[in-house]
Structure 1
Amino acid sequence: MSDLNISRNAEIPDALRIARAKASPNLGPRLLFFSGGSALNGISRRLKAYTHNSAHLITPFDSGGSSQILRLAFDMPAVGDLRSRLMALADESDLGQPDIFALFNHRLPAEASRDELEAEFRALLDGSHKLMRDVFQPMRSLILRPLHAFAQDMPDGFDLRHASIGNLILAGGYLTNERALEPVLFLMSKMVAVQGTVRAIVDENLQIGAELADGSHIVGQRNLTGKETAPLSQSIRRVYLSDGEREIDPRKVRLPKRNRRLIESADLICYPPGSLFTSVIANLLPQRVGTSIAARSVPKVYVPSLGTDPECVGLDLSGQVAALLSALRRDAGEDCPTGKLLSLVLYDARSVEPKAIRDVAADHAVTCVPADLASADRPDRYDPDRLCDALVSLT
């Protein structure tokens, strides 16, 4: 059971906490999410009404889509999930930067000839493109600098189809900052007035590997999610960090001090909905993540995905909790009490069978708190307001 003594009958939502947060989101609670992918973007966009102090530690190990094209061309971490979370948390009010926001979100056409793609890209580079003209100086020059750096190092034959301009700017900034992500993430955050903090869990170019139930191994996030390749036919036993060929000792991949400080100052730690292994647990693999979480006496909440997670073959809710705890204990120690790593499971009362809740309690002695969280028209999706209400209520 959690050392925070959270009641099974905890009142969710807490109207007073919610009203206080919405009245002064700049003073809102410090919610920390270990996240990746797009599952949390809609919720993050709504979260801005409650707090401007949320922190998002994102896996840079994605190996699919346009991020993979950049990774292969420049031997760099994935930036797509980082950019999309920055945009989700950007200030979209009249005080924000809508022209820069539109530019960073723009994608080149998916269906266009090479000549057409190169012509539009040249227009962006020389400033004649409408989206670039709409950005006033000196911001335009700040944006063009990394974009020109990208263009200078862009290999012959680089596939610009459906390329995100924001991703290209991040890639160029990475190259011009001695192959470091943090400076360009910070700059992009300031340009669109991000209402929160978005960082890569580590600033390293690595892959995710998985050992399956039969002892075989698969390397690469895109090979595990069931989106770009066939879904897994057996369960994942564990995931690990890889250089693309072999497993890496996690002691060689250390959580940066700046990210440890985010954990140390959090009012609530959330393991949010999303692909369990490649979007959530992947962030828990570097050294010092588990020990940093265990040292913080705040609510630590698992919000399981609604619908079907292709990565969770053969895993019920208790199995998902077990996978989460196992990953955390690799760093925190096998004898680390459950309550120091996970306080409660917050679940949609209509989507989880009573037996699943009993199994979690019996297997892990973890409190399970029901709430009305699913969207009324999409029962496989969380309603952003309801989930934000619930998380703020637990701080």
Structure 2
Amino acid sequence: MTKITLERDGALPDGLRVARALSAPHLGPRLLFFSGGSALNGISQALKRYTYNSIHLITPFDSGGSSQILRRAFDMPAVGDLRSRLMALADDTVLGQPDIVALFSHRLAADAPAGALRDEVAAMTLGTHPLVKAVALPMRRLIRRLLQDFADRAPADFDYRKASIGNLIIAGGYLSNDRALEPALFLMSKMVDVRGTVRAVVDANLHLGVELADGRRLLGQREITGKEVAPLDVPIVRAFLDGPNGARPERLPKRNGKLIGQADVICYPPGSLYSSVVANLLPQGVGRAVAARRVPKIYLPSLGPDPEALGHDLAAQVGALLTPLRADAGSDVATRHLVSHVMCDRSVDPAACAAVTARHGIPCLRVPLTGARADRYDPQKVCEMLISAD
């Protein structure tokens, strides 16, 4: 069975391994995260000190906010979580980098007149907007071209309210590259010198759906997160992906399967249980790829409240991860080959940890992983725990 360095409550990370990573992050380990949303961005920012080789497979199924506007207008995957992770991993030590990141992170006003918002985007495409003028050539020329590619294809009545400029730039790259995300993400990664690899788990226009304990089916991420509509009042029992032609499996791209096959550690990180983590485990091939890679596979559960985890104790959250993985990998695959450890902060009830081991047969370890706030992981402690996994 896979071993992890943190074998006992309160054990310290492997100091030598951490020191080696800090001294040579370009040679750092390949830590792979199945992730979405912003919950991992603080940890990702800290991770740049330890490794430039982290891998982030991100859900492109968001259906809320400005992502919903882009998806409806262009029949495309959601790119907001991808853009957010790229910015978190950007090398902020490069000269001029803050100007590019400021542009990519800029969000248009929510209450400005439609004409004023179109004029602001037009000023960016012309290069007269202050945020674009601050970017040095030749990057400025490339950004203007991508924004122009977007503007040329945008409907006349496109709703620019609260639009992220970075999302528009990625959308321009997507539309000008035969509706493929990979070239657009690669280009943006090079623009901001991303210290890691960020990819959509699949490049497909799909929506996350769930079945509830009372038999209802909800379609669309916005329906389950509790942010734009009322929180769920009954537990989720199953998640699925739905496309234009109805519910269907989507196959993990070979390039992403190869990344899983190269990972030194696989992490199911904090975030909304179904829309940020489980969603990434639904495509065909994910479970098989995870099972085939015999490395530590660590679940790091969220510490704060999660509307999507209604009715789920810690053991049930592990079960929610295992369900799609085992459905793909096969019912005879040992649990430890899908999730090998659950790592909890010491604030978690020992009985909850014991229930994980009793139900699933895997270790649930309680170690000090929080800092000033009890409901937030300390990024440095998490990074050093993952770096020390063996």
Letter in 2 for 1:137: L
Partner residue, 1:374: 370
Which one of 351, 355, 360 corresponds to residue 359 of structure 1?
Answer: 355
* 1:136 partner SS: coil
Which of 250, 255, 259 aligns to 2:252? It is 255
| Structure 1: distance between partners of 2:352 and 2:245 | 37
Other-structure match for 2:322: 325
Matching residue of 2:2:
4
Q: How far is 1:106 from its partner?
A: 1.2
**1:285 lines up with 2:285 in the alignment:** no
Paired residue for 2:380?
Answer: 385
Q: 2:82 — aligned with what?
A: 82
Structure 2 counterpart SS, 1:92: coil
Q: Deviation per CA, 1:101-144: give whole Å up to 9, x if none.
A: 22111112223222321221111011111111122222122112
Q: Which runs of 5+ in 2 are unaligned?
A: none
What is the rounded CA distance, in whole Å, between the counterparts of 1:354 and 1:328 in structure 2? 26
Residue 109 of structure 1 is matched in structure 2 by 109
CA distance in 2, matches of 1:79, 1:104: 12
Measured in 2, the distance between the counterparts of 1:9 and 1:345 equals: 13
Overall identity of the aligned pairs, in %? 61
Displacement after TM superposition at 1:233 (Å)? 0.8
Q: Residue type of the partner of 2:183?
A: P
Structure 1 length normalisation: TM-score? 0.96
Alpha-carbon distance, 1:314 to partner: 0.6
Instruction: Quote the residue 1:138 is aligned against.
Output: 138
> 1:308 and 2:305 equivalent?
yes
Kept after mapping to 2: 8 A contact 1:96/1:193: no
Q: Distance in 1 between matches of 2:56 and 2:12?
A: 23
* 2-structure distance, mates of 1:164, 1:393: 37
Distance 1:244 1:321 in 2: 30
Give me the whole-angstrom Cα distance separating, in 2, the residues matched to 1:9 and 1:32: 24
Does the 8 A contact of 2:25 with 2:50 survive in 1? Answer: yes
> Structure 1: which amino acid aligns with 2:180?
A
- Name the residue aligned to 2:339: 342
Distance (whole Å) between structure 2 residues aligned to residue 320 and residue 118 of structure 1: 44
Post-superposition offset of 1:172: 0.9
- Structure 2 distance, partners of 1:71, 1:96, is 31
Q: How far, CA to CA, are the matches of 2:259 and 2:94 in structure 1? A: 29
Shift in Å, 1:375: 2.6
For 1:374 and 1:247, locate their aligned partners in 2 and report how far apart those are by CA, in whole Å: 40
CA contact (8 A) 2:96 2:135 kept: no
Residues 1:269 and 2:269 aligned together: no
Structure 1 pair 95/16, CA: closer, same or farther in 2 (3 Å)?
farther
CA contact (8 A) 1:220 1:244 kept: no
**Partner SS for 1:286:** coil
Letter in 2 for 1:361: T
Deviations 1:337-393 (A, max 9, x none): 10110110011011x1111011111100111122111231x2111111111111111
SS in 2 for 1:238: strand
Partners of 1:12 and 1:393 within 8 A in 2: no
- What is the Cα deviation at residue 183 of structure 1? 0.1
- 27-36 or 93-102, which deviates more: 93-102
Segments of 5+ residues of structure 1 without an aligned counterpart are none
Q: How much does 1:18 deviate?
A: 1.1
1:45 positional shift: 0.6
Secondary structure, counterpart of 2:90 in structure 1:
coil
Amino acid at match of 1:302: Y
Runs of 4+ in 1 over 4 A off after TM superposition: none
Measure, in 1, the Cα distance between the counterparts of 2:94 and 2:218.
47
What is the letter of the counterpart of residue 9 of structure 1? Answer: R
Query: Under a length normalisation based on structure 2, what TM-score does the superposition of the two structures give?
Result: 0.97
Q: Secondary structure in 1 aligned to 2:371? A: coil
Deviation, structure 1 residue 207: 0.2
Query: Secondary structure at 2:247's aligned position in 1?
Result: coil
- Find the residue that maps to 2:280 and give its secondary structure: helix
Partners of 2:192 and 2:94 lie apart in 1 by 12
Asked whether the equivalents of residues 36 and 280 of structure 1 are also in contact (C-alpha less than 8 Å), the reply is yes
- Asked if structure 1 preserves the Cα contact closer than 8 Å seen for 2:96 and 2:136, the reply is no
Residue equivalent to 2:128: 128
State how far apart, in whole Å, the 2-side matches of 1:184 and 1:86 are.
12
Counterpart Cα distance in 1 of 2:309 and 2:176: 39
Amino acid aligned to 1:119: D
Look up the match of 2:214.
214
Helix, strand or coil: the match of 2:333?
coil
